[in-house]
Structure 1
Amino acid sequence: MQSVLRSLKKHGNNLILGEKGLVPVTFLLAFAMLTIIWWGTLSRMAHEKELVLESSISDGQNIASIVATNLNEVLDRASHYAKIGRSMMEEERFAELQLKPLLSGDPAYLRIAIFDGQANLLQSSANRRSEPELMQLVQKVGQMPTTSGADIQLIAGRPSISDNSAWRVPVVIPFTTADRQHGFLAAVIDLGYFLRLYKDIHLGDGGRIEILTRDAYQLAELNGAGLSAGVDYAGSDYAKFLGGQEQEGVIEAARPGAAEQEIAVFRMLATYPFTVVVTRDQSYVMARLTARHRDYLQRAIVVSVAVVLLMFGLLVIAYRQRRLYNVLAASEQEKRSLIGQLEQEKGRALLQASHDYLTGIPNRMLFYELAAAELARARRSRKLYGMFFLDLDKFKLINDTLGHAVGDLLLQGVARRLRESLREYDLLARLGGDEFVMLISEMTSESDIAKVAAKLVDVVREPFPDLDGHDIEISPSIGIALYPRDGQNVETLLTHADAAMYHAKAAGAGTYRFFDSSLNASSARDVELLTRFKRAIRDDEFCLHYQPRVELQEFGLVGLEALVRWQHPEHGLIFPNDFITLAEENDLIVLLGRWVIAAACRQIADWRAAGLPLVPVAINVSPKQLKDSALLETVMETLARYQIEPGLLEIEITEGCFIEDFDTANRVLEQLRANGLRIALDDYGTGFSGLKNLKKLPIYAIKIDRSFVRDIRNDNSDAVIVASTISLAHNLGLQVVAEGVESKEQLVHLKTAGCDQVQGFYFKRPVPASEIVEILRRGRFTPS
């Protein structure tokens, strides 16, 4: 749908102006409108069906819960009768009178009998001399292990199959008398009487309430006002839910012999071996939507017919326009031919006047024009622009010794390399002789401009082989002026870049200098750090600091986040903002990431060896690490080397990991999770993630970015965003961690909003491993 609309927006004007433009536009518009109409109608119908189904399941679960609760109360009375029976066996007076359930107003129990340890009938509430049905169950239970003392275990048998007693269930409770002789209380419970109490509950046609044993035997079923029993579901897919761990839920499999699709929910009794099942006919539940959905479809058909009629009307207009277009087409084509010839001649003349005849790149005139236009646009941009003035060192010597032909070939080669090294929209020109100028646009920082200059120096210094039989090496000197700081127009920037170029020549061949000398020191520091980076990893100059993660119920320690630092021998402790970007841009981040994985696992092993309580340690993984095919192998091999459980190492990724290739990144994370590692989404709210992607990710938690927590008490928008994020995460089954908590007010607000965990300076700043030892021993914090 969206692709159709984008296509209309992109090509609509061209189609309308063309010979048959209105026809395809009309069809596309009609198709788009019909798609919207029917997609909206069908989506609404599907959504309403889903809501009705969820409502029916919820109603069924409520009914099942009520029936299960009442059934539990009925069965609890059996335990009461068992205590009375035990008293009777101990020859307590008047105990026998209390074993008359009908006299005491308990119609759910038809009769009660007391047996001794040899299954001999001692007492029957119906005054029977024998109870063969109950005796058979008592004898069977007597062969089973019994529970003595106050612990009473109810065991249900299967009723005899007949029209009037199929739902009358025999039950037995074994007990021990004071003189250590075993005895039994046996009773017949009328589940038919019990279920009739719910006959007025409207479940619709085909709706029913069932009571099943744990071995899938149907003890009783209420279907409308009718009762039935005796169906054995054992071995069927329908009964698989009875073997699960869930106490309540929805039954996915169809009931054996059911002709229609049904909605069935179950509720197991916690202390008795019975399960209540409530079933509704899905077609009956959905019937209430039939008239409404028929109305939706009728409306959609009427609107669709109107759209089609409108389309045919537009096609008639298109046909008339086409006839007029054909009349004008011939003369228009002739005019275009003449205009095309004039444009070609004009283009050739402009090319010769505006481009350097030797190298083919723009000359001074065209560069001034293009650079002025680019700087005019730069006034509306917050990016940096760099004017480069490049001069070849000792070029005159090459001309004088090897001749101008070789010099011209060298200039052509330099121009070609410069053009290939720059972006398509960067400007390059030759001012004359061996002087080249470039305008580098839309750069984010001075260090980025310095990297471009360093790259150009390296490119030009590469040998030029076989220039008229000569292999030539030459170095450039580059001066750089920045817009808007060093000048507001082309002339001023060129003047300052030219001056900076002479400073570069004075510093030695093959280098660059900024017009502002302070930038040279900054770029030199980046070069210094970059040069030492691999050695720093090899010599363990990097270290990890740890920040606790605290849960908000008891303020217990639940995890640590490992943050990398560089302990530079000359510059001291360097924070990640000063070297992470440098590592990412120079393909060193994967090497650094492997060091972090090994260092974190080594530290966990050291804490374990010291006998300290362990909590999971989280490490940050960059987008480039997720592209590393050896990431999974590196993580698992490191865990195995230090004998660390996968659950003790967590992975934190940012939303930027999914910008280029969501599927590849998601597949790598799925593999990590499958091997036992837990994954959290860091800095949530600052990237691109939407609900569609969030629910697909194999994560267990999201970490709310500190920018939303900072003003949560003062900025209502931040408070609403945080509360919505917590609610969304909990609905998706995710935990929520808030970063950057620095005050008690923020902590109280987050706990009230339902946040699960926090980390920040309020509890502890990131500190070396030695300062975490006491926190691990204590295991919790006390908010001040």
Structure 2
Amino acid sequence: MKIPDFLDRDVLNPVGFDSRFLKKGIIALGTVLIMLAWCLFLFQVDKNKKELVAGLEREQQNLAGVLAENLFQILEQRHTIELFASKWFDGTKSPSGDITGFLYGERTFTRIVLYDLSGRSFYESSPGSGDRPDKIREQIEKMLGSGQPVVMPRDNRLSNISWQVPFLFPIGIGAAVKGAMLLEMDFGYFLNLLQNIDIGRTGTITVQHDQGEEVARFESGGLVVGNSPVKMMPAGSISGVSGFRDGRYSDFGNCYLTYLRVHDYPFMITISIGQDEFLSDFNQYRNRLLWVLIILTSLGLSGIVLLFKMINRNQAYLDALALFNQENQRLIQNLEKEHKASSRAASFDPLTELYNRNLFISLAEKSILQAKRNKFCYAVLFIDLDRFKKINDTLGHHIGDLLLKEVSLRLKMCTRKSDIVSRFGGDEFVVMLTEVARERDIATVVENITAVVSKPCPDLDGHEIITSPSVGISVYPRDGEDIETLLLNADAAMYKAKKSGRGQYRFFDPSLNTVSVEKFALEQRMPSAITQGEFTLHYQPKVRLQDYRVVGLEALIRWRHPHHGMIFPPDFIGIAEETGLIMDLGAWVVEAACRQLNNWRAAGMDLIPIAVNVSPLELKDRAYANRFQNILKQHDIPFKYIEIEVTENAFIDDRDIVINNLKALFDKGVKIFLDDFGTGFSSLEHIRFLPVNSLKIDRSFIQDIRNSYHDNPIVSSTITLAKKLNLTVVAEGVETSDQLISLRVAGCEQVQGYLFSRPVSENKIREFIISPVRKI
């Protein structure tokens, strides 16, 4: 039964729907919007106020700077008068003529009086009020005590005009003060500077002494000097050279105050304006916005109230519809549960919860359709557990079921979400790897699955079970273009893997994985060949170009097969690695090299190092370094006489284990050569962090060298960079004199190749050990 859209169960759910939640949501939303509006209002008001105050600060500071500079320039003219007065004190000349001439061209100073230190005047440019010498001497002592100019007290002003302010300056510096000089400054000059400046009704511009005493003040009515009430700054209210203050002052009231000290003089320019006057327009704008916000808030609250009434009216109608829908919902949910259960039973394995055969085939067919439209690789893995029947028969089906569950979890862990993992039945699992970038990456994934599944299952109802997978692989579209063909071919490849041993995998492609009769025979004979001495070592010398002396040997293994004759490493090393016999074969090589060194030592020959090739599989064994050291100790061979050659591919997988093994040997003094350098993944940047002593440049880079190291810049660059990393360089495959000359010019230290010797048996290698080789 389908519910009409207007009776959607998500809306009419009688359990989940409640108007109270809607009301709370509306209240919360309304509250947030109102608070947001008020916060924005307060933020904007505060921002605008700060911008206004910042503008006022800049304006007042600029004005104070102009006034301070003008006052400084005026007061600096006193130095000219001091120069004239000093001549009188020196007795060289009367200053009256010079000072009179100075005043004639100067409008700022209206009167000049010179005093000696006793307060007696000896020059006056014009008659004054006639203060007594003792009063003058008192001000001179005050000036000498402070070391700064003094503004004459109001009751002692030697002037008849209120805006003419006298200042008392010392003549001389420090202990060399000779007298005092009174300069009467005409502050009407400042009145002319400020007459076009609008400072407002409450604004003031004052000139103060550093003690806070006012010298002159400019207000909206003009310049105020003399008997006007004095506005004093509170002691300690202003500190520093300049600043801007916002506060209340006893004489200025609530105002914005800017002050700036006159350079080198104890005077300060102060500019103030009342806060109420300055912010009057801003306050009107703020009040208008406040009323608008109050009205909008009231309208919003009214709307919420009306909305609540509408919700209450509709709640009864919705409750009735919800009750009617409740029974329908119950029936629909039961149908959905039954449908899901039946669908899951038809599509999933009930034990492991993996896809079953039917769902796997359906999903795989869709993936193959996608594969036809892209360039990725797709592969089907048919997996069968080794010895599962024996485990099931011995420990029971309960343990077998637990093992199948554990294997299913490990398969999920080793695959991506896009891959398809299924159980076909029994111990058979099928996996489809989708969208693999390269075909060789399939083997990497399969090796990981094999390693993870082969790990012990530690606690299966008190039992520790070890199993391994046999994996057959078919690749789309090479091995089939439909899922049935791919499954059939993967199943066939799985049986081939089972025949090869436990924990093996095989591709269906016969050209890659079918084991030939000869190869199978070699595989079967190899264990006995190792123990029965069918293997032998040949040696190829490494020649030092400095003196053409053999400084090392590379040991190369050969198989003297009783039926096939001499077999070389490419024909049997791969078999040893596939079957796991590479560990025994590698240990035999190290022991054979140690025995050879002992034979030479017993014959009285000087020993030279022998390098052995080590397979990457050997280095992945955590115990390899210990086994290697034990072999050398058993044969009493110093570590420096057995060297190791590894290829760059050894560092691709299990890199940390490989490096730890090599580092353990490196620290013991075993020299490590990086063989076939340039053909693998490494670079000189990576080699800085690897425990190696030397690089062996692959023969493919040596072939093109003629008679100049510029013919192969790769070789010359490699040699140069390797030397900077303190690595010895050995060139492989040297076959001509031109190659040898070019390598020597390029700075190569050691060479190895047919030019000097092919790999030879122990009897033929002795002559190279005893004497240097012939120079080419």
Under a length normalisation based on structure 1, what TM-score does the superposition of the two structures give? 0.51
Alignment correspondent of 2:75: 75
**CA distance in 2: counterparts of 1:537 and 1:122, whole angstroms:** 100
CA, structure 1 residues 255+290, in 2 after alignment: closer, same or farther (shift >3 Å)? Answer: closer
CA, structure 1 residues 268+445, in 2 after alignment: closer, same or farther (shift >3 Å)? Answer: farther
Equivalences for 1:406-417 in 2 at 5 Å? Answer: 406-417=399-410
Q: Does 1:175 align with 2:172?
A: yes
Alignment correspondent of 1:187: 182
Q: What is the DSSP-based 3-state SS (H/G/I as helix, E as strand, rest coil) of the residue aligned with 2:260? A: strand
C-alpha distance after superposition, 1:404-433 (max 9, x if no partner):
623322111233455578898986543444
The amino acid that maps onto 1:239 is I
Q: What is the DSSP-based 3-state SS (H/G/I as helix, E as strand, rest coil) of the residue aligned with 2:458? A: strand
**CA distance in 1: counterparts of 2:489 and 2:665, whole angstroms:** 43
Alignment correspondent of 2:232: 231
**CA distance in 2: counterparts of 1:257 and 1:379, whole angstroms:** 91
**CA distance in 2: counterparts of 1:380 and 1:302, whole angstroms:** 65
**CA distance in 1: counterparts of 2:664 and 2:209, whole angstroms:** 67
Between the aligned residues of both structures, percent identity stands at 24
Q: Does 1:42 align with 2:34?
A: no
Q: What is the DSSP-based 3-state SS (H/G/I as helix, E as strand, rest coil) of the residue aligned with 1:155? A: coil
Cα contact 2:143–2:150 (8 A) shared by 1: no
CA, structure 1 residues 348+575, in 2 after alignment: closer, same or farther (shift >3 Å)? Answer: same
The amino acid that maps onto 2:262 is L
Alignment correspondent of 1:548: none
Q: What is the DSSP-based 3-state SS (H/G/I as helix, E as strand, rest coil) of the residue aligned with 1:57? A: helix
Equivalent position to 1:160, from 153, 161, 167: 153
The amino acid that maps onto 2:199 is L
Alignment correspondent of 2:200: 204
CA, structure 1 residues 328+122, in 2 after alignment: closer, same or farther (shift >3 Å)? Answer: same
Cα contact 2:650–2:658 (8 A) shared by 1: no
* Structure 1 spans left out of the alignment, 5+ residues: 1-11, 145-153, 542-568, 580-767, 770-784
CA, structure 1 residues 293+167, in 2 after alignment: closer, same or farther (shift >3 Å)? Answer: farther
Equivalences for 1:13-162 in 2 at 5 Å? Answer: 18=17, 20=19, 23=23, 26-27=26-27, 30-31=30-31, 33-89=33-89, 95-99=95-99, 103-104=103-104, 106=106, 108-109=108-109, 111-116=111-116, 121-127=121-127, 135-139=137-141, 155-160=148-153
**CA distance in 2: counterparts of 1:573 and 1:33, whole angstroms:** 64
Cα contact 2:143–2:168 (8 A) shared by 1: no
Alignment correspondent of 1:464: 457
Q: Does 1:299 align with 2:292?
A: yes
C-alpha distance after superposition, 1:240-265 (max 9, x if no partner):
3x1xxxx544346x455378653333
**CA distance in 2: counterparts of 1:503 and 1:513, whole angstroms:** 7
Q: What is the DSSP-based 3-state SS (H/G/I as helix, E as strand, rest coil) of the residue aligned with 1:279? A: strand
The amino acid that maps onto 2:182 is A
Cα contact 2:473–2:490 (8 A) shared by 1: yes
Equivalent position to 1:266, from 259, 267, 292: 259
**CA distance in 2: counterparts of 1:420 and 1:286, whole angstroms:** 71
**CA distance in 1: counterparts of 2:156 and 2:441, whole angstroms:** 89
CA, structure 1 residues 80+362, in 2 after alignment: closer, same or farther (shift >3 Å)? Answer: farther
Q: Which stretch shows the higher mean deviation, 74-83 or 325-334?
A: 74-83
The amino acid that maps onto 2:76 is D
The amino acid that maps onto 1:207 is G
The amino acid that maps onto 1:170 is F
Q: What is the DSSP-based 3-state SS (H/G/I as helix, E as strand, rest coil) of the residue aligned with 2:337? A: helix
Q: What is the DSSP-based 3-state SS (H/G/I as helix, E as strand, rest coil) of the residue aligned with 2:182? A: strand
Aligned residues: 521
Q: Which stretch shows the higher mean deviation, 268-277 or 191-200?
A: 191-200
**CA distance in 1: counterparts of 2:275 and 2:435, whole angstroms:** 62
TM superposition shift of 1:438: 6.6
**CA distance in 2: counterparts of 1:474 and 1:441, whole angstroms:** 26
TM superposition shift of 1:464: 1.5
TM superposition shift of 1:394: 2.6
**CA distance in 2: counterparts of 1:397 and 1:498, whole angstroms:** 18
* Structure 2 spans left out of the alignment, 5+ residues: 1-7, 513-646, 668-679, 690-723, 726-776
CA, structure 1 residues 415+400, in 2 after alignment: closer, same or farther (shift >3 Å)? Answer: closer
Cα contact 2:203–2:220 (8 A) shared by 1: yes
CA, structure 1 residues 368+301, in 2 after alignment: closer, same or farther (shift >3 Å)? Answer: farther
CA, structure 1 residues 392+60, in 2 after alignment: closer, same or farther (shift >3 Å)? Answer: farther
CA root-mean-square deviation:
6.1
**CA distance in 1: counterparts of 2:346 and 2:63, whole angstroms:** 89
CA, structure 1 residues 270+142, in 2 after alignment: closer, same or farther (shift >3 Å)? Answer: closer
Cα contact 1:387–1:439 (8 A) shared by 2: yes
Equivalences for 1:751-762 in 2 at 5 Å? Answer: none
Q: What is the DSSP-based 3-state SS (H/G/I as helix, E as strand, rest coil) of the residue aligned with 1:340? A: helix
TM superposition shift of 1:360: 2.5
Q: What is the DSSP-based 3-state SS (H/G/I as helix, E as strand, rest coil) of the residue aligned with 1:239? A: coil
TM superposition shift of 1:335: 0.5
**CA distance in 2: counterparts of 1:378 and 1:215, whole angstroms:** 93
**CA distance in 1: counterparts of 2:286 and 2:296, whole angstroms:** 15
Equivalences for 1:633-672 in 2 at 5 Å? Answer: none
Q: Does 1:287 align with 2:280?
A: yes
Cα contact 1:265–1:279 (8 A) shared by 2: yes
Q: What is the DSSP-based 3-state SS (H/G/I as helix, E as strand, rest coil) of the residue aligned with 2:272? A: strand
Cα contact 2:117–2:180 (8 A) shared by 1: no
**CA distance in 1: counterparts of 2:661 and 2:279, whole angstroms:** 70
Q: What is the DSSP-based 3-state SS (H/G/I as helix, E as strand, rest coil) of the residue aligned with 1:574? A: helix
Equivalences for 1:218-257 in 2 at 5 Å? Answer: 219-225=215-221, 226=224, 229=230, 231=232, 233-234=234-235, 236=236, 238-240=237-239, 242=240, 248-251=242-245, 254=247, 256-257=249-250
Alignment correspondent of 2:581: none
**CA distance in 2: counterparts of 1:360 and 1:71, whole angstroms:** 95
Alignment correspondent of 1:597: none
**CA distance in 1: counterparts of 2:387 and 2:346, whole angstroms:** 26
**CA distance in 1: counterparts of 2:384 and 2:206, whole angstroms:** 94
Cα contact 2:377–2:439 (8 A) shared by 1: no
**CA distance in 1: counterparts of 2:474 and 2:263, whole angstroms:** 79
**CA distance in 2: counterparts of 1:169 and 1:450, whole angstroms:** 103
Alignment correspondent of 1:338: 331
**CA distance in 2: counterparts of 1:205 and 1:456, whole angstroms:** 91
CA, structure 1 residues 328+51, in 2 after alignment: closer, same or farther (shift >3 Å)? Answer: same
CA, structure 1 residues 397+44, in 2 after alignment: closer, same or farther (shift >3 Å)? Answer: same
Task: Mark the structure with the bigger radius of gyration.
Answer: 2
**CA distance in 2: counterparts of 1:400 and 1:342, whole angstroms:** 39
Alignment correspondent of 1:667: none
**CA distance in 1: counterparts of 2:207 and 2:261, whole angstroms:** 10
CA, structure 1 residues 259+91, in 2 after alignment: closer, same or farther (shift >3 Å)? Answer: closer
CA, structure 1 residues 48+141, in 2 after alignment: closer, same or farther (shift >3 Å)? Answer: closer
Cα contact 1:15–1:25 (8 A) shared by 2: no
**CA distance in 1: counterparts of 2:188 and 2:665, whole angstroms:** 82
Under a length normalisation based on structure 2, what TM-score does the superposition of the two structures give? 0.52
Alignment correspondent of 1:394: 386
Q: Does 1:571 align with 2:712?
A: no
Cα contact 2:243–2:258 (8 A) shared by 1: yes
